[in-house]
Amino acid sequence: MVPGALVLMIVLWEGYKAIGPENGADVFGVRLIPRTSDRAMPHVVEMLRRFGRPEVGGGSSRTVFDAVFAATWYSFRVALLGLVLGVCFGLLIAMLMARFNLLRKGLMPYLIISQTVPLIALAPLTVSWGGRLKLGSFEWQKWMSAAMLSAFLAFFPVAVGAIRGFASPPAASLELMDSYAATWWQGFRKLRFPAALAYLMPAFKLAAAAAVVGVVVSEISIGLRFGIGRLILSYSQEATGDPAKVYTAVVGAAVLGLAMAALVSLVDRTLSKNRPAEAQA
Amino acid sequence: MKHESHSPDQSLGQPAVVVDNVSKVFNAGGRQQVDALLDISLTVQPGEFVSLIGPSGCGKSTLLRLIADLLSVSSGSLVVNGKPAAQARLDQDYGMAFQQAGLFDWRNVAKNIELPLEIRGWDQAKRRERSAEMLELVKLSEFASHMPWQLSGGMQQRVAIARALAAHPPLLLMDEPFGALDEMTREHMQAELLSICASTSTTVIFVTHSIPEAVYLSDRVVVMSPRPGRITATIDVNLGGNRNDDTREASEFYGKITEVREALRGIEHVGGARGIEDR
């Protein structure tokens, strides 16, 4: 799947570049057709070559590949932490909502509101809150804010999927557990949670994507260095003189997303061994 | 088949289930108040097989759920295995099987049967031993590690019965367990159920829509009528211990079917005549 999609993208990119107008075109007076000049759309080969050359002209600096790789690896770790935190938080919320009727009814609007808060507005706030937090030798770091914001985006699909999943067992199965005089926790562990797995896997995939977006956006808005989001921003400022460079960082971001998706698929495959074939996505 | 005997208090001769003047009202006092059951009294002896039959809405499933303590009575009293229904549920004195086998997709057949034992906190070795024994009882030993979706509907229902009986409860409550099966499988399962009950001396309360099924299986058929649900007739069957396919063609069998059918017809004539009895 992934190699096929990659080839398709390259074909589309180079294909359009070959036939599209050099300086773009207007549609009803609006500039809609993108330019295909080397400055706007560098050749794929040129992007790949750019990876091998030094980051800044001067000779002695590291290559772009090293820079992009380091930044991607940095963002990956932050996003992974965000995903793990988001999954834990989302599951916890859903569990509490499954357990307590009052929460089930009262909490949902707040969950939805939480996702309408613009991340850009929230990001600087978490940094300043964190800055005031001092526990002994512990000091709040900017990357912790990024991980938190990433978790903030990632928890939502998990919570929504888990709420549905925990409520998915049919009445007869719940009655069965009741007839065994099972405790709520036994019912959760042996019925609700395993029944929810089919709902959780798609939710985890969405959460992984959200975690990546969360990290990239918050890197940019809180000015966290080292990450791929920041790298895209700084490379894009050189786009006029060195158009291929920014695309190397974009490729890094894409790889970051793919790596997260691959990780989730791996978890999915391990957990879904015992599910009927038709229930597997 | 060898099978260890059930809890000792059965031998004291006390009834397995005593339903005494039980009524059940849903939404009491509300606009949509439903008198589901009215003044039900029924005593079931240990080892007896009793069917509850009646049109939809007659409260037979409700009565079963009251005995199981999945619902609580509005008035009257309910004694199961010599104790209040709630205590009997806590002690897992009964097993239950529903129309849908309701096996857990993520557990194999043996693990499904072990579910009630896990909840009781049995250790793994004991659970294994018991699930193997139950699989032998329902003749599915070679399917222990199959997943539920790999089994036919009839086999799934057999697993559900094995699960219901895994803890050797003295009482088995069944809510149309064969309702979703085709006719051939159904008759086969009825014969299986009888032999299982005979070998385990389990008391059974069996809810069904089918007159021949009720007659074939039961020592006693309890006919119920709707709105409010009450018992209108009780018919002793006594087709003998060795029922088989010939039984289904015997004249006594047809005689009893007619008797039950007439009792059910009687309900239509009575209609709602006693429907508006306020307690």
**DSSP characters over A160-216:** HHHHHHHT-S-HHHHHHHHHTT--HHHHIIIIIHHHHHHHHHHHHHHHHHHHHHHHH
| Predicted complex: ipTM over 0.90 | no
Lowest mean pLDDT among A111-115, A137-141, A237-241, B62-66: A137-141
Question: One digit per residue, pLDDT tens: chain B, 279 residues?
Answer: 444 444 444 445 688 888 888 888 888 777 778 878 888 888 888 888 899 988 887 888 888 888 888 888 888 888 888 888 888 888 888 888 888 888 998 888 999 999 999 998 888 888 898 898 888 888 888 888 888 888 888 889 889 988 988 888 888 899 988 887 788 888 888 888 888 888 888 889 999 988 888 888 888 888 888 878 888 888 888 776 667 667 777 777 777 778 788 778 876 554 443 433 333
Minimum-distance CB partner of B147 among A170, A172, A274 = A274
pLDDT of residue A245: 83
CB contact under 8 A, B92 and A180: yes
Percent of chain A at pLDDT above 70? Answer: 95
Cα(A263)–Cα(A80) distance, integer angstroms? 10
Confidence of residue A16 (pLDDT cuts 50, 70, 90): confident
**Residue A268 in this model has a pLDDT that exceeds 70:** yes
CB contact under 8 A, B102 and A181: no
pLDDT of residue A185: 92
Confidence of residue A191 (pLDDT cuts 50, 70, 90): very high
Q: Residues of chain B whose C-beta is under 8 A from some C-beta in A?
A: 65, 68, 70, 89-92, 94-96, 98-100, 102, 104-108, 115-116, 118-120, 147, 149
CATH topology of domain B14-93+199-245: Rossmann fold (3.40.50)
Mutation target to probe the A interface, by most A beta carbons within 10 A, among B106, B111, B161 is B106
Residue A33 CB burial class (10 angstroms; 0-12, 13-18, ≥19): middle
pLDDT of residue B120: 87
Minimum-distance CB partner of A173 among B91, B102, B120 = B102
**Position with higher pLDDT, A128 vs B190:** B190
Chain B residue with CA closest to A271: the answer is B106
Residue B51: strand pairing partners = B206, B221
**Which chain B residues contact residue A197 at CB under 8 A?**
106
pLDDT of residue B267: 63
Q: What distance in Å separates residue A184's CA from the closest CA in chain B?
A: 11
Q: What distance in Å separates residue B210's CA from the closest CA in chain A?
A: 21
- In the chain, the amino acid numbered B256 is K
pLDDT of residue B6: 47
pLDDT of residue B112: 93
Question: Average pLDDT, stretch A222-228?
Answer: 83
pLDDT tens string A80-125: 999 999 999 999 999 998 888 778 778 888 888 888 888 777 777 8
Delimit the domains of chain A by residue range. Answer: 1-41, 54-279
Minimum-distance CB partner of A180 among B65, B99, B119 = B119
Delimit the domains of chain B by residue range. Answer: 14-93+199-245
Domain A54-279 is of which CATH architecture? Orthogonal Bundle (1.10)
Tokens at B112, concatenated: 């499904």
pLDDT tens string B127-176: 898 898 888 888 888 888 888 888 888 889 889 988 988 888 888 899 98
Mutation target to probe the B interface, by most B beta carbons within 10 A, among A174, A177, A179 is A179
pLDDT of residue B9: 46
CB contact under 8 A, A173 and B89: no
Mutation target to probe the B interface, by most B beta carbons within 10 A, among A176, A188, A189 is A176
pLDDT of residue A83: 92
Tokens at B244, concatenated: 């088989």
Cα(A9)–Cα(A19) distance, integer angstroms? 16
Percent of chain A at pLDDT above 90? Answer: 18
CB contact under 8 A, A178 and B104: no
pLDDT tens string A68-83: 888 899 999 999 999 9
Under 8 Å CB pairs connecting chains A and B tally to 57
**Position with higher pLDDT, A273 vs B279:** A273
Minimum-distance CB partner of B149 among A177, A190, A276 = A276
Q: Which of B252, B97, B231 is nearest to B160 (CA)?
A: B97
